[in-house]
């Protein structure tokens, strides 16, 4: 099962309402990625990094991953993900610290302010299967939070 959902009310950011959140869509029938939209207006100055939460979470199978990236149009204007690419595991949804709120940490390496209006794309995401090694000792850790929660 794969789907997007609005995070629980207590985890909504920026004072927006659940009914105002735009669910990600694919632009064309052959698009690989789902476009994700900003719930707020924001300006990212050259050399600045800002984290924008989408107020959405994603549900998907345990043997799948959700990748986050910026669009080519955003990159053309100098905006990239600060960490290069986002990797979201299936147990991120419903976590106790932010309910799985998908955030885009955007960095402006361009020369001009990057203006984001509410409803503009803040990135894209796509689902993929992943493989593990055959002789793996199964991990026993359990996610307890959001950003950076799996670090030791």
Give first-to-last CA distance, the chain, whole Å: 30
Q: Which is it for the CA torsion 124, 69, 116, 74, positive or negative? A: negative
135 within some domain? no
User: 90 to each of 1, 59, 75, 85, 118, how far by Cα in Å?
Assistant: 11, 7, 27, 16, 27
How many structural domains comprise the chain? 1
Phi/psi at 115 (nearest 5 deg)?
-95, 125
The domain of 43 spans 3-129
What residues pair up with 68 in beta bridges, in sequence order? Answer: 86, 125
Count of alpha carbons within 13 angstroms of residue 112, beta-carbon side = 7
Taking the whole predicted model, whether its pTM rises above 0.85 is answered as yes
139 within some domain? no
112 within some domain? yes
Q: What is the predicted pLDDT for the residue at 146?
A: 64
145 within some domain? no
pLDDT band of 143, cuts 50, 70, 90: low
136 within some domain? no
- Per-residue HEC secondary structure of 20-46 comes to HCCCCECCCCCCCCEEEECCCCEEECC
pLDDT digits (tens, 9 = 90+) for 70-111: 999 999 999 999 999 999 999 999 999 999 999 999 999 999
């Amino acid at each position: 099962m794969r789907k997007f959902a609005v995070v629980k009310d207590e985890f909504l950011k920026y004072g927006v309402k659940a009914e105002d959140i735009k669910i990600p869509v694919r632009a064309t029938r052959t698009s690989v990625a789902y476009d994700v939209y900003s719930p707020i207006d924001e300006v990212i100055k050259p050399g600045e990094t800002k984290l924008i939460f989408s107020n959405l979470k994603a549900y998907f199978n345990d043997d799948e991953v959700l990748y986050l990236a910026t669009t080519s149009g955003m990159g053309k204007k100098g905006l990239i993900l600060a960490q290069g690419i986002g990797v979201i595991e299936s147990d991120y949804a419903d976590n106790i610290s932010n309910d799985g709120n998908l955030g885009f940490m955007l960095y402006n390496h361009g020369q001009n302010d990057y203006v984001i209006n509410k409803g503009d794309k803040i990135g894209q995401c796509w689902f993929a299967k992943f493989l593990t090694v055959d002789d793996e000792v199964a991990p026993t850790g359990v996610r307890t939070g959001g950003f950076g929660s799996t670090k030791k």
